[in-house]
Structure 1
């Protein structure tokens, strides 16, 4: 067999290939350069030189192979990191890759705060201590501060014996609990800005090689760039989101201003066209897409389902003081705004939020609507007062003694569109001054277009077409409602005869009703004719009758106190029974008998004779009514 070919150096090709394979093999491989050289028959010095050359070649091969693996890992990490956009997720992945690349027991990242110059452990890998994540490193303390301040890697083989950076008790305690011995820290730099410090640490003593420092630094540089990019993207997204929010706020504001402009135009038209509070509420509700409730000066009106009256009153009081919308704390989405004209409180508007959220523009719109409502109410009140004065003058002329004046009043009424020929009834209304205006409005509604409503003396007089005076009085009483105690007395009216007579009768009846215990009724004057006759035009003669029948008893009471007349009235009301009279007056029977004996002494022993007792009973009833009617 022919010998194997030899290269120019004189060594066989197979031998050269074997030496190259041994030089490129791992340390634990079977191909050992010394074993291969021993079979060549070379001199010892040649074998020694070849062995050193082969070992150098083998070290370089191992270094390049490891470098290739590290670069492959860096590229793989770069691809992963580039796909991550969330900063927190990016930090987690960054520390995880650093831990896998360097192969230490622990890896963690401390974030640097430019304002406080403080480092805070944000993400860890391989730690077991609960106090390690979130650990704060004060400025100038620990290995991390040295890395951040010098912007260069720092490491130590034994942390406990480290002298290159000041120790901190808290840091030393946490590092001791974690069991870390050797640490390597490299800065995360984005240009001149320090983002943080990346650490690799072991729980045993270890001297970090330049290759390990270089590998972690290269990874940190790349990671810092990716992290900075992610932060910039996050800030860009935040800016874009803020821009979008600002645009939406601007669009909402423009929309609100447009709604406010429309409401202002509608309210202005209402003022010019003579609208009222209901029209304002309708325009406001349509523009703000909300529910609007009108409250009068007594805050009467449909109450909010969830807001108690006390809360409404408190909100309206505050709005009256400030002139602004006031939310109801107990009922979110509801605001109250007072309707005020100078010092006059005219009511309030209650708004419940609907499809449109309430903001500053909506509140200002509601406040403007409240001002317009006040203006319209003042205008309406002024028109009502003017109309009321005209109608009061008409009624005064209709009741005048001069027949020509009465005829002229009827003509003026017809000129105002009032058909006086249809009047068939007259109603006199008694009401307190504080309720006079709402009662007058109710009377206008009840009287109809041909009615006449006016004040005459202390009473309100209504002339209308209803043929039944009792029904006319009930209609007016029902129009006022249950909230205001009202006395309404109807009487027949037969024009063109003198209307003063039915007015006098109804007025007299109105005076009598409170004395009879009636304060909130609607009646016809004819029902109480016996009483009204007594207090009508012949009232002086009636008083003379009472005086003649009861004079001694009245004088006795005036001189010594009112005891005999009440006792006599109770005695007559209880079928002349002294026992029943005593119970009614809370007196002993003997006391009642003593007083009756005094009455007999004053009036004569025959005072209980049937005819005289009848006249005495009438006089007693008239005297009591007179005392109540004043």
Structure 2
């Protein structure tokens, strides 16, 4: 019940509004009398306050009363004049007008009880009707949720109830259902620059965001509980304040949306589980024929293409604002990649070690024309855009060579893993590494090249044993020395040690290994052995 409705009651019709017409929309939730020194301390908000001003005869006292009532959320002030105060001073009425706080002169002949009784009777009657409407609202949204209503239907229903423009955001899918919603900042549920967010009293899931521009003031309702945010309802807060039943409608809509999101999440997780099982079987080589692969893929919602390029990604650093604690990081990254735009026809799920895996469909002709480079460019663009959208997020990826025939896609996947793991040993590499560009490192870890391990052992064996026994850095120092063209000073700078330390370590390495750093042939073998040793360590760690 608003102040303007209170003042239209028959018992008050003979009175007169003295000031604060701009606040007649204030909601009235009770009536009280202040004629005691400590009366104002019991104002809880929403009261129509009655007073003879016996304690507030001076203008400054009346000003203080008005300001304190506004601060405490009072709905309005009803006064009797010509008893203790003949008239309000102009500065008092001016302050009430500025604060949009109604001051009403009640009829002199009325006792306080003649005002309190009809107002409370009206309030109780309206409260009964409000509770009935709230119950109807609750039943309506529960019914919509059980019927499986879409986000769009729920948004339309809520907008019709509260007559406001709004948007409903599903965090699981990133889908937004809007009804006449203006174009705001990318995340309108957060307070922007110059805006403030405060919880509504008694409603922990509701925030009022105040903005310098009245057009952007809004009510935000969090969807979800237990620390997990399933989404948001954003309602533009223009015009009269929302009534209690309208706030209830927002909260009940949030419950219905949460049920819809939870249902969608359960389906989503189940689909991911079966798709993940299919991908693991495919990459493990468990299928005996392409027909078996095609049938299994169709059962989990995927269509098989003639050729694929394997891609494996990993998270090198989480963003400044990490995903929710209950969210699986790999799935979170997959969702981000999907929203940003994975290539069409892509099979994407989590692989081993929770790394996102994408099998990117390419045409058989493209598979013969370096399609992996085109895929790498697409993935590089995705990673760059995600880095901009989520500051601090660092992703890297490996890309295998194209393979025609779904049974051979596991080879492209293995190449993508090798490219991802061996990328750190390549100079000047970006976030995406192609197996095609690994050069000699492609041999590392391959079962049909057993001589690699023996070559590393023959060339560096004594040095590596000494490093293990004494926790030394002879092999690492040798590698950095060779990487820097045999410069002692550049090596010392790279290692942050004195150049004499570098000379000592290299002399020790030469003594143990029995090689001559002055020989071009031996330096070539040493550099090759050191790089293969570095790569083999990374590859072994990946396995």
TM-score interval, normalised by the smaller of the two chains = 0.5 to 0.7
Alignment correspondent of 1:490: 399
Deviation at 1:244, TM superposition (A): 9.9
* CA offsets 1:440-493 (integer angstroms, 9 cap, x no match): 234555457743223221222222324533443554565572224322333313
The answer to whether 1:585 aligns with 2:495 is yes
Decide which of 356, 359, 369 is 1:460's aligned counterpart: 356
Residues 348 and 359 in structure 2, CA contact (< 8 A), matched pair in contact too:
yes
TM-superposed CA distance for 1:294, in Å, is 3.8
Equivalent residue for 2:270?
Answer: 386
**Which residue does 1:413 correspond to in 2?**
297
The 1:419/1:367 distance shift into structure 2, 3 A limit, reads same
The answer for unaligned runs of 5 or more in structure 2 is: 1-13, 19-34, 37-53, 57-81, 84-104, 175-184, 319-326
What is the aligned counterpart of 1:357 among 241, 244, 248? 241
Give 1:472's match in structure 2, choosing from 352, 366, 375.
375
| 1:325 corresponds to 2:216 | no
1:570 corresponds to which residue? 480
Match of 2:438, SS state, is helix
CA distance in structure 2 between the partners assigned to 1:257 and 1:520 by the alignment: 63
Query: Within 2, Cα distance between the matches of 1:488 and 1:605?
Result: 38
Where in structure 2 are the equivalents of 1:302-451 lying within 5 Å? 302-303=187-188, 307=192, 324-328=205-209, 334-341=218-225, 344-355=228-239, 357-404=241-288, 407-414=291-298, 418-431=302-315, 434-444=328-338, 446-447=341-342, 450-451=345-346
Higher helix share: 1
Q: Computing the radius of gyration over CA atoms, which structure comes out larger, 1 or 2?
A: 1
Q: Distance in 2 between matches of 1:86 and 1:368?
A: 40
Shift of the alpha carbon at 1:308? 6.0
Alpha-carbon offset, residue 265 of structure 1 = 3.7
SS at match of 2:501: helix
Structure 1 residues 372 and 488: CA distance shift in structure 2, 3 A? farther
Identify if the C-alpha distance between structure 1 residues 86 and 506 changes in structure 2 by more than 3 Å, giving closer, same or farther: closer
Residue aligned with 1:453, SS: strand
Would you say how many aligned residue pairs link Structure 1 and Structure 2? 407
Query: How much has 1:525 moved relative to structure 2?
Result: 2.9
User: Aligned ranges for residues 223-242 of structure 1 at < 5 Å?
Assistant: 235=110
The CA deviation at 1:568 is 1.1
Cα 1:457–1:597 shift into 2, 3 Å: same
Counterpart of 2:514? 604
1:355: Cα distance to partner? 4.3
Q: Cα 1:410–1:342, aligned 2, differ >3 Å: closer, same or farther?
A: same
Matches within 5 A, 1:184-195: none
TM-score if structure 1 supplies the norm length? 0.53
Structure 1 pair 559–509 and aligned structure 2 pair: CA distance change class (3 A): same
1:576 Cα deviation from its structure 2 partner:
0.6
1:228-252 deviation line (CA, Å, top 9, x unaligned): xx9868749x989997999799889
Which residue of structure 2 aligns with residue 553 of structure 1? 463
Displacement after TM superposition at 1:410 (Å): 1.3
Q: Is the 8 A contact 1:325 1:336 kept in 2?
A: yes
* Worse-superposed segment, 238-247 or 391-400: 238-247
Counterpart-to-counterpart distance in 2, 1:284 and 1:269 = 11
Cα 1:557/1:248, change in 2 over 3 Å: same
Q: Deviations over 1:542-598 (max 9, x none)?
A: 333212211111112122222212221221122111122223223333222222221
Q: Is the CA contact 1:452–1:462 (under 8 Å) kept in the aligned structure 2?
A: yes
**Range that drifts further, 257-266 or 548-557:** 257-266
**SS of residue in 2 equivalent to 1:512:** helix
Q: Cα 1:609–1:249, aligned 2, differ >3 Å: closer, same or farther?
A: farther
Q: 1:231 to 1:307 in 2, by over 3 A?
A: closer
- Superimposed CA distance per residue, residues 518-553 of structure 1 (whole angstroms, 9 cap, x where no aligned partner): 998344332335434324445754333212211111
Distance in 1 separating the partners of 2:189 and 2:335:
26
Which consecutive unaligned segments of at least 5 residues does structure 1 have?
A: 1-84, 90-114, 117-133, 137-194, 197-229
Q: Secondary structure at the match of 2:147?
A: helix
Give the Å deviation of 1:599: 1.8
Q: Using the alignment, how far apart are the partners of 1:271 and 1:434 within structure 2?
A: 28
Mapped to 2, the partners of 1:393 and 1:262 lie a distance apart of 43
C-alpha contact 2:134 2:245 (8 A) present in aligned 1: no
Q: 1:273 to 1:478 in 2, by over 3 A?
A: farther
C-alpha separation between the residues in 1 aligned to 2:196 and 2:106?
50
Shift of 1:495: 0.8
The answer as to whether partners of 1:428 and 1:488 remain within 8 angstroms in 2 is yes
Query: Matched residues in 2 for 1:479 and 1:400: separation?
Result: 27
- 8 Å Cα contact 2:275-2:300 kept in structure 1: no
SS at match of 1:420: coil
Tell me how far 1:353 sits from its aligned partner: 1.2
Cα distance in 2 between the residues matched to 1:477 and 1:264:
49
Instruction: Provide the rounded CA distance (Å) in 2 between the counterparts of 1:566 and 1:507.
Output: 24
On the 8 A contact 2:145/2:259 being kept in 1, the answer is no
Cα 1:355–1:250, aligned 2, differ >3 Å: closer, same or farther?
farther
Of 516, 528, 540 in structure 2, the residue corresponding to residue 618 of structure 1 is 528
Distance in 2 of aligned mates of 1:583 and 1:589: 8
Contact kept in structure 2, 1:293 and 1:301, CA below 8 Å = no
- Answer whether contact 1:425 1:472 (CA < 8 A) is retained: yes
Which structure's relative contact order is higher, taking Cα pairs within 8 Å and 6+ residues apart? 2
Contact 2:148-2:260 within 8 A present in 1 as well: no
Q: 2:420–2:433: 8 Å Cα contact kept in structure 1? A: no
CA displacement 1:287-321 (0-9 Å, x = unmatched): 43144464859x99614685569966x859x99xx
Equivalent residue, structure 2, for 1:119: none
Contact 1:493 1:499 in 2 (8 A): yes
CA RMSD of aligned residues (A): 4.9
- Alpha-carbon distance change, 504 to 231 in structure 1, aligned in 2, over 3 angstroms: closer
For residue 516 of structure 1, report the CA deviation from its aligned partner.
Answer: 5.5
